[in-house]
Amino acid sequence: MTQRTSMRTLLRKGLAALCALACAAGVAACGSSGDEDGDVIKVGIKFDQPGLGFKKSGTYEGFDVDVARYIANQLGYTDSQIVFKEAPSKQREAMLQNGDVDMILASYSITDERKKAVDFAGPYFVAGQDLMVRANDDSIKGPQDLNGKRLCSVTGSTSAKVVKEKFAKEVQLMEQPGYAECATALLSGIVDAVTTDDIILAGLASASRGKLKVVGKPFTEEYYGVGIKKDADSKEFATKINAAIEEMEKTGEWERAIENATEGTGYRPNPKYNPPKPDEGE
């Protein structure tokens, strides 16, 4: 063996050892199976919405999560190939446009304004704005009963403003950074009601162990879609996602996912709109 050959052999062995060490430490670049993102699907969800998208001790649960898993499985990905990423409301369009995620299921309502920036598949659920009150409070049966009451919603949300402008001009509005904080304010008596989409409220009520309830009189319609990147392949991708959603509805998995997400609340999605026909983006 020549000195040059010996040196090349040592270099190869040294590089292999370094790569093995790096891979053991979790460095994906040493993989030999090709593109590091090629074997996974990246999904944006909420991390702080009980019943929809909630991160708990390193695991993810909620209706959005269950729908995302079902879609990914139908697309050929196993659960271990799904990478969940937090998708705050203000960052959703940018995350899709930048390729940070492949799709977003995060109480993401389909609107004409959003469709200028991204494409959608679905809808997979039609929510409605509703109210959550204390379980022993029967005085509030709808938004018209909120005059003189204190109503909580999240900072930046338009939900509470809708109530004030259309139903109860004398309602007192209070904002909190998140719906969990609104639920805490409701439990402690600081506010009399919380407003947002009914399925979000149902998730919060489920987590309250019977102390809170959803009024059950939705007064808007919000079509939840699967956000995808607007590009040449979006129509084909949307068609595949829609087929998966339709299959989930037919098999009963969609209904079971709703029941699991809102257990103990008696919540039922509005049958006039649910389950919806997924035909967006085709």
Same domain, 54 and 192: no
Would you call 54 helix, strand, or coil by DSSP?
A: strand
Model confidence band, residue 145 (pLDDT cutoffs 50, 70, 90): very high
What is the torsional sign of CA 213, 90, 171, 110? negative
Same domain, 86 and 194: no
**Within a 13 Å sphere around the CA of 135, how many CA atoms are in the beta-carbon half?**
13
Q: Within 217-264, where are the H helices?
A: 234-251, 253-261
150 in Cβ contact with 190 (< 8 Å) = yes
Return phi, psi of residue 153, to 5°. Answer: -145, 175
Same domain, 188 and 201: yes
What's the average model confidence in pLDDT over 151-175?
93
Model confidence band, residue 156 (pLDDT cutoffs 50, 70, 90): confident
Express as a percent the part of the chain with pLDDT over 90. 79
The C-alpha atoms of residue 276 and residue 198 are separated, in whole angstroms, by 16
The C-alpha atoms of residue 249 and residue 245 are separated, in whole angstroms, by 6
- Whether 240 is covered by a domain: the verdict is yes
Same domain, 59 and 102: yes
Tell me: pLDDT of 208 over 70: yes
Same domain, 89 and 208: no
pLDDT of residue 158: 83
pLDDT tens profile 72-114: 999 999 999 999 999 998 899 999 999 999 999 999 999 999 9
pLDDT tens profile 225-281: 999 999 999 999 999 999 999 999 999 999 999 999 999 998 999 999 999 999 999
- Whether 176 is covered by a domain: the verdict is yes
pLDDT of residue 153: 93
Return phi, psi of residue 83, to 5°. Answer: -110, 115
Tell me: pLDDT of 18 over 70: no
pLDDT, mean over the chain: 88
Where in the sequence is the domain holding 196, given as residue range(s)?
128-220
Q: How many domains does the chain have?
A: 2
Burial state string for 138-154 with b = 16 or more CB within 10 A and e = fewer than 16:
eebebbebbeebbbbbb
> Letter for the amino acid at 268?
R
- Whether 171 is covered by a domain: the verdict is yes
The C-alpha atoms of residue 151 and residue 182 are separated, in whole angstroms, by 9
Q: Within the chain, where are the H helices?
A: 3-24, 63-74, 92-97, 159-166, 179-187, 198-207, 234-251, 253-261
Same domain, 123 and 141: no
- Whether 22 is covered by a domain: the verdict is no
pLDDT of residue 37: 54
- Whether 70 is covered by a domain: the verdict is yes
Same domain, 104 and 132: no
The C-alpha atoms of residue 33 and residue 56 are separated, in whole angstroms, by 31
Model confidence band, residue 23 (pLDDT cutoffs 50, 70, 90): very low
Same domain, 97 and 139: no
Same domain, 73 and 132: no
**Within a 13 Å sphere around the CA of 105, how many CA atoms are in the beta-carbon half?**
30
pLDDT tens profile 35-59: 345 699 999 999 989 899 999 999 9
Q: Which of 80, 87, 90 is nearest to 102 (CA)?
A: 87
pLDDT of residue 151: 98
What is the domain-level CATH number for residue 98? 3.40.190.10
Model confidence band, residue 2 (pLDDT cutoffs 50, 70, 90): very low
Q: How deeply is 164 buried, as exposed, middle or buried, from its count of CB atoms within 10 A (0-12, 13-18, 19+)? A: middle
